A = this chain, B = another copy of it.
Amino acid sequence: MKLEVAILGATGAVGQRFIQLLQGHPWFEVAELVGSERSAGRRYRDVSRWVLDGSAPESVQDKIVLPLGAKLRSPIVFSALPKEAADPIEMELAAAGHVVCTNASANRMVADVPLLLPEVNPSHIHMVAEQRRRRGWSTGALIANSNCTIMPVVMALAPLREFGIQAISTVSAQAISGAGHPGVSALDILDNIIPFISGEEEKMSAESRKMLGDFDGTRFEDLEAVVSASCNRAPVLDGHLVNISVRLREQPSLEAVRAAWDGFRAPDPVPSLPSAPEHAVLYLEQQDRPQPRRDRMTGNGMTTTIGRLRECPILGYKFVALSHNTIRGAAGCSILNAEYLCASGYVEVFADHPVPNRQKASLASPV
């Protein structure tokens, strides 16, 4: 008996990743697919154009797509909606008692919505209690994950918080899948780099400071750090690579920085969640890594790989970090958040759920 989940925006590129990653999930089962008016009432196979490798799983092909606004029965709702469609439907579903885990940017900076990343800010999950109190919700909740480009930055910096992060400078090379499908025109990106992604640099600053900040039980306090982000689109399918420079108050040695990464472990029960990778961050020794194509699938796409740690003559430290943007940076992160919410008791129906002592079963394999 698995827990039923719904996917909003199920025909889009991120919606497809949800479907793919949830195949064979030990706790969750895709029960409801929600799409646009154009798709509603028709079979998934007839309205979706699968853009990931291979084909859509047979288990969803004949499901009838539900319209946005349909009453759902699944306790957990994953949202892969575009920003405009997400508001207010995500809030309405949360108010109706669903635990909504969203990739949309619409509500990320709302004061009582956590930008949850279980390895990085596990305590932020308890904003759900506050959220329910403030809004008078009983079983519902709205939990967001961050912009996909922040992911490698925040994952790589989380272990360095102990050194006092003061300034963060990032320059990204972002994959085309970050723009969805059809997204980037081939005529724009082949043999090219586009040094601009609308709205992205602003998100990088606001969201990273919220994610790396504190939670005092009732409100978030942003990390006090200056963030400068430059965002570029590159002809890469998946995987956002970021060149990062950082100023650390404690001025640790390079070895101490390495040790912080190597020793980084999330608190229990995060490491034993089904979608948690063995290593949240993994430092690669080769001098020319990480590379998007070769390293994005590390840890089934859930591990952030880091490399090239060296001195920065200006800020002190620089290195390169990479995360898979539609797995760790989108659908995979939402699923991990949902697992963490279950394990933390925030999904009421899960309390009686016959998953044997909620232990880690096996990783969902995304390929």
Contacts and interface: CB of A to CB of B under 8 A. Distances in A.
A267 B25 CA distance: 35
Nearest to A184: B186
A250 interface: no
Counting chain B CB atoms within 10 Å of each CB, which of A191, A205, A288 scores highest?
A191
A186 B288 contact: no
B230 A171 contact: yes
Interface stretch (A70-78, A81-89, A312-320): A312-320
A290 interface: yes
Interface in A168-196: 169, 171, 173, 176-177, 181-196
Nearest to A169: B314
Interface size class of A (residues with CB under 8 A): 35 or more
A344 interface: no
Contacts of A190: 176, 186, 189-191, 235, 237, 293
A298 interface: yes
Given A171-B243, A181-B187, A292 B176 contact: no
Interface in A185-222: 185-196, 205
Nearest to A366: B367
A341 interface: no
A308 interface: yes
A177 B188 CA distance: 10
Contacts of A289: 195
Interface string A254-296: 0000000000000000000000000000000001111111110
A319 B193 CA distance: 15
A191 B313 contact: no
Nearest to A311: B228
A176 B181 CA distance: 16
Q: Which 4 A-B pairs have the closest CB atoms?
A: A182-B185, A171-B171, A196-B288, A192-B293
18 contacts: A53-B297, A54-B294, A169-B245, A169-B312, A169-B314, A171-B171, A173-B173, A177-B187, A182-B187, A182-B188, A183-B185, A190-B235, A191-B235, A191-B237, A195-B290, A195-B308, A205-B313, A230-B245
